[in-house]
Structure 1
Amino acid sequence: MTVTAVVDFVTVVFVLATMFSMGLALTADEILASLGHHRLMAKSLLVNLVLAPLLAFAFVLTVPMETGHVVGLLLIAMAPGAPFGPKLAEISRSDVAFASGLMAVLGVVSVATIPVTVALLMPGDVAADPVGIARIVVLTQLLPLVGGLAVRARFQSVATRLHPPVQKLSTALLVLLVVLLTAAYAGEMRQLVGTGTLLISTVVVGGSLLLGYALGGPAKSTREVLATTTAARNVAIALLIATTSFPEPAVLTIIVAFGLLSLVVSGPVAGLWGRDTQGQPANEQT
C-alpha cells in the first residue's frame, strides 16, 4: 500500500468521524437558536462563504504563485465550518451554543457552496468537477452529520456515550494525518519557505479573523465566535477534496500549512479573549 493510498483512507475516515462527532454533540435547539438570529446568521454566512474565499482569490490574482499552491489556498478558503469551532468558543468563553449551531449550518450549506465556489474561482487551466465535489461533500460531510444529529435526537444516552470515543478518534486521526502528510511531503513543506505562500496564508487567516469580528454583531461573545470560526477553515473537507480531485503534493502541502497557521493564530487569540473574560459578569461579556 502506497503512502498516498494510506493518506486517502485516513482522510476519508477522519472526515466521517469528525462530522459524525459534530452531529452527536449538537441539538436541534442549538441549530434553531442560531437560525433565529437572522441578521447575525446572514452576516456569518456572508463572511464564511463569500468574503473569506474572495480574500484568498484577491491574493491569487495579484501575487504570482505556483498552480498547486493556488489550488490549495483556494480550496481551504472555500471550506467553511471547522469542527473545532465550538472548542475555540469554549476556550474564549464565548457563545458556544451559537458556535455549535453555526458549525452545523455551515456544514449543510457548504454542500452547495463549495462546488459553486470551485467552479467560479478556480483558475481556468485547472480541471474541476463541481458535481463530483458535491457528491464527495454530501457523502462524507452531510450524511454523517445528519446521522449524528438523528442519533442525538432519538437516542440521547447513546449519543452521550458515543461522542467522547468518536471525538477522540477524530483527534487521533487528525494528528496521524498531519504526521503522514508532513513525512510524505517534508520536502514540499521546506520549499514553501521563501515563496511568500506562508505569508499570504497568514494574512488570509488574520484577515478572516478581523472580518469575522467586525461582522459578528454587537455582542462580544458572538464577535469572538465568528472571528475564530471564520479564521479556522475546514481542513478535513479541503484535504478530502484535494486527495480525490487535485492529488498534487503542492495542493496538500498548502492546505496542511494553512490549517496549522489558522490554529496557531486563532487558538492563542481565543485564549487571550478567555482570560480577559474570566471573572466578568455575563452582562459584561456582551
Structure 2
Amino acid sequence: MGPITPTAVIDLVTVVFVLATMFSMGLALTTAEVLEAIGRRRLMAKSLLVNLILVPLLAFAFVLAVPMETGHVIGLLLIAMAPGAPFGPKLAEISKSDVAFASGLMAVLGVVSVATIPITVALLMPGDVAADPLGIARIVVVTQLVPLIGGLGVRARYQPVATRLHPPIQRLSTYLLVLLVVLLTVLYAGEMRQLVGTGTLFISVVVVVGSLLLGYALGGPEKSTREVLATTTAARNVAIALLIATTSFRDPGVLTITVAFGLVSLVVSGPVASLWGRPDEA
C-alpha cells in the first residue's frame, strides 16, 4: 500500500461530502413538495431553462470572449453546468420565500442534471479538453442520483427515521464542506493567489450576478417564486462540480476556480436572500 497523498485525501473527502449532501437532501424532501413543484409546469419549465441552458451559455460566452487559462475555463464551465445547490431551500427560508417550491425544484434539478451535466460537458467543453461524458455520467449517477433517491425513499417509507437521520447527516455534510475548503485552500494557496490578477474572479462574480438576475426575471409573477429561482440559480451545486473536478480533471486550476466560484455564489446569494427576508418597514 502506497503513501497517503493530500490528493487522495481530498478525493475521499469529496466523495463522502457529495454522498452525505445528496442523502441529506433526500431525507429533507417530501413527495408532496416534489409533486407540487412538478405540477407548476410553466414555472418549472422556465426554472429548467435558466438552470440547465441559460447559465451554462452565459459562462460559455465569457469563455469565448475573455482569454483564460485552460484550467479556469474548465472550472468555470463545470460549475455553471452543475445546478441544484442543496442549500437552495435554506436560502428560500432566509428570504421568507416559497420553501416548498425551492425544495421540489432542488430535487428535480438533482435528478435531471444526471443527464444534462454529461451532455453539456460534451457540447460546451473546448475541443482540446479531454473530457469523458460517459464517465462523468457514471459519477453523477452513483454519487448524486443514488443517494438522493435513497434519501427520498427513507423519507417516504420511514419518516421518523428520516427525521432523526437528517440533522446529523446534514451536519456531517457541512463539516466536510468546511474541511474540503480548508484542504483545497492550503494545498492550492498559490493558485488561489494567482486568481486575483487574472480577472477570473471578476468573471465569476458577473456570472453569479447574471444568474441571479436571470432567475429573478423568469421566476413568474409572484415575488416568492422570483426570489427562489434567483437564489437557487445563482447558487450552483459545488458538491458535484468538485467531485467531477477531482476525479476527471487533475489541473489544479479547475479545483481553484470551482472553489472560488462556489464561495462567490454564497457571498452573493446569501446576503441577497437576507435582504429580501427583512421585514418591510411600516
TM-score by length of 2: 0.98
* SS in structure 1 at match of 2:278: helix
Instruction: Please provide the CA RMSD for this pair.
Output: 0.9
Give the C-alpha shift of residue 106 in structure 1.
Answer: 0.1
> Which runs of 5 or more residues in structure 2 are unaligned?
none
2:83 to 77, 80, 83: 80
Spell out, residue by residue over 1:5-63, the C-alpha distance to the aligned partner (whole angstroms, 9 max, x if none): 00000000000000000000001000000001000000000000000000000000000
Give the C-alpha shift of residue 278 in structure 1.
Answer: 8.7
8 Å contact kept, 1:11–1:236: yes
> Which runs of 5 or more residues in structure 1 are unaligned?
280-286
- Equivalent-residue separation in structure 2 for 1:278 and 1:12 (angstroms): 45
Aligned equivalent of 1:58 = 61
* SS in structure 2 at match of 1:227: helix
TM-score by length of 1: 0.97
Give the C-alpha shift of residue 277 in structure 1.
Answer: 5.5
- Equivalent-residue separation in structure 2 for 1:202 and 1:277 (angstroms): 28
Aligned equivalent of 1:8 = 11
Aligned equivalent of 2:206 = 203
Quickly say closer, same or farther: Cα 1:190–1:90, change in 2 above 3 A.
same
Spell out, residue by residue over 1:69-103, the C-alpha distance to the aligned partner (whole angstroms, 9 max, x if none): 00000000000000000000000000000000000
1:268 to 260, 266, 271: 271
Aligned identity (percent) is 84
- Equivalent-residue separation in structure 1 for 2:237 and 2:198 (angstroms): 24
1:113 aligns with 2:81: no
AA in 2 matched with 1:167: Q
1:177 aligns with 2:176: no
Question: What pairs with 1:42-57 in structure 2 (closer than 5 Å)?
Answer: 42-57=45-60
Question: What pairs with 1:243-254 in structure 2 (closer than 5 Å)?
Answer: 243-254=246-257
Aligned equivalent of 2:146 = 143
Q: How many residues align?
A: 279
Aligned equivalent of 1:92 = 95
- Equivalent-residue separation in structure 2 for 1:191 and 1:104 (angstroms): 36
Give the C-alpha shift of residue 194 in structure 1.
Answer: 1.2
Spell out, residue by residue over 1:182-227, the C-alpha distance to the aligned partner (whole angstroms, 9 max, x if none): 0000000000011000000000000000000000000000000000
